[in-house]
Every structure is written in structure tokens, then in C-alpha cells.
Structure 1
Amino acid sequence: MAMKKEQRSEETKRSIIAAAAKLFAARGYESVSIREIAKEAGCSHTTIYIYFEDKEALLHALSMQPLEELHSALTVAAQAKELTPSEQLQRINRLFIQFCLEHRSMYTVFFEAKSIRVDEQSPQLAINELRNQMFATLMGALQRYLDIEEGEALLRCSRTYFYMLRGIIGTYALSEESQESIINRLSDTFDDAFEALLLGLKIQLGKGAM
């Protein structure tokens, strides 16, 4: 009997998470209320509070595991001693783009909901701490490639680099083309775009423009 009750509890929890994911993806995190999630999940809004303290807790339940897996993969790429700094960045690019295309309906939820500045020192939310750790991983790889010290120039370069990643993802956010097809068709183009960007960053740094 207790096992059945526990099973029903897990099913309810999963249905709440699935409902939140559906609504967040369709309308955005900020636009969705707990009552709307409850209606979609087929339960009362008070039931949601049995499992989740608030909407932020739902955001964490949805996002933390996939983002932790991405962060782990990015860290491995950034620390791969058999790769040159250029190859480390290339692997990071491909991992990030592939992940975001696989989760394109949830991209804005994963990376934008309740987000803060990337140079925020003490994020209050665990998801923002994780996001900033991923940005720091990218920044570290870029620092090794550009061979520059920590500071404002590195932060600017890293933001510029991330804007490129965001632009690629945004281009295909609403595309019906599969992630596999996009990667197979355009991975060389993406590599060329980042190579041009890195060349431009090096030129600007050499001129003292950043």
C-alpha cells in the first residue's frame, strides 16, 4: 500500500514537472503561474506546494540535471590535455550548440529564466551559480587561446564569444530541422564563424582596442 502511494506521489510530481516544462517552453517562465501549471497537470495548486516550494523550485527541478550534465561535458573538453586551446574551444562550441539544439524549446528557460549577470560574484540561485560556472569554463578556455590575463578585456572577449553562440542557437530556435541535420549540414560553417571571430579578437587585442 505504501509503495503504491509513493508511486502515485512520484507520478504526480512528474506530471507537475512535465506541465511546467510545457508551459514554460510555450509562454516563458515569467508568464506562467502556479495555478496554470496545476491546471495543466490536472491537480490543485495546493498539491504543487506539497512537492515544490515555489516556481523557482520547479525551474530548478526542470533545469539542474541537464545543465549539470552540460557543464560536466564542457569541463572535460576545457581540460582535455590532448587538445590544443583551439581544439578545446571547438569542442566546447559543438557541445554547447548540440545541447541547445536538442533542447531548443527549453533553451530560454535553461539559460534566461531568473538569470543574472555573468560576473555576479554570489548568485542566490543554484541555477545561476551553475550558469556562471559554465561561462567561467568558456572564459578559461578562451583565455588560454588568446593568452591574456584575467580582467575586463577577457570578460569582453568572452561575452562577445557567447553572443556568437547565442546567435547560432537563436537562428534555429524555431526551425523544424532536426538537431542532427543542422549539425551535419553546418558544423563546418560554425567552425569558420568562430575562427573568424577569434582572429578578429586577436587583432583587436593586438591594437589595444579591448
Structure 2
Amino acid sequence: MKSRQEQRSEETKEQILKAAGTLFANKGFDSVSIREIAKEAGCSHTTIYLYFKDKEALLHQLSMPSLEKLYKQLNSIILADTLSAEDKLKKISHDYIQFCLENKNMFDVIFNVKSTRVDEIDPKSEINILRLKIFSLMKQVLRNCLSIPENELLLNFSRIFYYQLNGILSTYSYLHEPIGELMKRLTPTFNLSVEILVLGFKEKLIQMGDD
């Protein structure tokens, strides 16, 4: 059983994380100071340093559990033997969109704060390593759909695919419709968008082959 002091310590840490998440989401990571987080959490700024080295440590703690959960979820789709490459792409798209909508208040923090380019060779932070692994999963499935090698064209197609997913998120992130109902209503449209993108990529490959 945890002592009262241990329990208070955990509660303080959770309050700090909650305050940081709220401020990062509302004001932007770079605009928020440790003192502001402390004020929001109801503690001193020196207390924060007992738990977290700096703001980036807070970002890490806020983002990594969600990113790890999403990575495992998407990776399990790739490993499914019963799905075609295009069905995997549709399922990954569906789960990514749903995950992001369920975490829409923290989406920008989880995916974009201190982010690196998707073609970064050696990202330094664990957060960016995992972000790029998630992007690479999408790229891998798209590659299987198109039967093309790992090259600059695949990277560009993958970027376009990722832009499309985030366009969907921007379109529906402010709706108040329950997410389950939204996904049920729009999944056929989301699937159609994947089909159209894949067809367009294949047509572009044919045109390039003719040239």
C-alpha cells in the first residue's frame, strides 16, 4: 500500500502534467513557461523540477504513452495476414483518424511540438523517433499497395497520403457529434478517399513509365 506521502507525490505529478497539457494545447509549447505551469498546477516552480528536468521532459511524459499506444495499434494491423494491403491502408487511416479525434485537444502536442522532418535520418528525441516510426508504418503499407521500391517518389506519395489524413482531422476536429457516430457515418467516405488516392498514385506511376 502506498504511503500518504507517495500518494500526494503522485497527485502532484498528475496535476503538473494536466496543467502542462492544458497550457501547451491552448497557448503552444514555446509560449508556456515553467512558472505558468506551476501556477496552473497550484504548486511552486521548484516543485516541478523535483519531477521533471524541463519542459521537454513534460512533453515526453505527455506524448510518449499515446504515441506508443497508437504505434502498437497500427503495427498490429500491418501484421494481420487476413487483410490486403489496401484494406490495411484503410484500417490504418480509420484508426489514425479516430485516435486523433479522441485526443483532439492534445493532437498538436502529441504529433507536432518539437517535431522533425519525416525524412530525418537520425532524430534525437524518443518522441520524434516514435513519430517517424508511425509515419514509416503508413509508408510501408502504401509501398505494398503500389509495389514500388523505397525511394523519393514513395516518400512524396506518403507525404500526400499523410496530408490527406490531417486534412480530414482539420475538417472534423471541431464537430460536437460523438466520435463513434461520426466514424460510423463517414468511414465509407474515408475508405473511398483511400481508394481514390491509391488509384491516382498508380495512374501517376503509369504516366511516369510511359514517359
Partner of 1:39: 39
* Residues 190, 102 of structure 1: alpha-carbon distance in 2 compared, 3 angstrom cutoff: same
- Residue 112 of structure 2 aligns with which residue? 112
Query: In the alignment, which residue of structure 1 is the partner of 2:203?
Result: 203
For 1:71-82, what aligned pairs fall within 5 Å after superposition? 71-82=71-82
Inter-partner Cα distance in structure 1 for 2:188 and 2:117: 31
**Pairs within 5 Å for 1:38-187:** 38-187=38-187
Please say if residues 89 and 194 of structure 2, whose CA atoms lie closer than 8 Å, have aligned partners that are also in contact.
no
Q: Which residue of 1 aligns with 2:12?
A: 12
How big is the shift at 1:176?
2.0
Distance 1:86 1:50 in 2: 48
Q: Distance between the aligned counterparts of 1:31 and 1:199, measured in 2? A: 43
Q: Distance in 2 between matches of 1:143 and 1:173?
A: 29
Supply the distance in 2 between the matched residues of 1:67 and 1:177 (Cα, whole angstroms): 25
Identify the residue that residue 23 of structure 2 maps to in structure 1: 23
Distance across 1 between alignment mates of 2:184 and 2:31: 35
Tell me, which stretches of 5 or more residues in structure 1 are unaligned? none
Quote how far apart the aligned CAs of 1:27 are: 1.7
CA positional deviation for 1:178: 2.1
How high is the sequence identity, in percent, across the aligned residues? 49
1:205 positional shift = 1.3
Tell me how far 1:124 sits from its aligned partner.
1.0
> How many positions carry a matched residue from both structures?
209
* 2:98–2:183 contact (8 Å) kept in structure 1: yes
Query: C-alpha deviations, 1:95-139, integer Å up to 9, x for none?
Result: 101100100111111110000001111111110000000001110
Greater shift in the superposed pair: 130-139 or 76-85: 76-85
Q: Which string of whole-angstrom CA distances, capped at 9 and with x for unpartnered residues, describes residues 78-110 of structure 1? A: 121111101111110111011001001111111
SS at match of 2:170: helix
Q: Kindly provide the amino acid, as one letter, of the partner of residue 45 in structure 1.
A: H
Query: What TM-score does the superposition give when structure 1 sets the normalisation length?
Result: 0.96
Asked if 1 retains the 8 angstrom alpha-carbon contact of 2:25 and 2:105, the reply is yes
Distance 1:126 1:90 in 2: 27
Distance 1:140 1:79 in 2: 12
Distance 1:22 1:143 in 2: 38
Measure, in 2, the Cα distance between the counterparts of 1:22 and 1:124.
26
1:193 aligned partner: 193
- Structure 1 residue runs of 4+, over 3 Å off? none
Return the letter of the residue paired with 1:52: F
Structure 2, unaligned runs of 5 or more: none
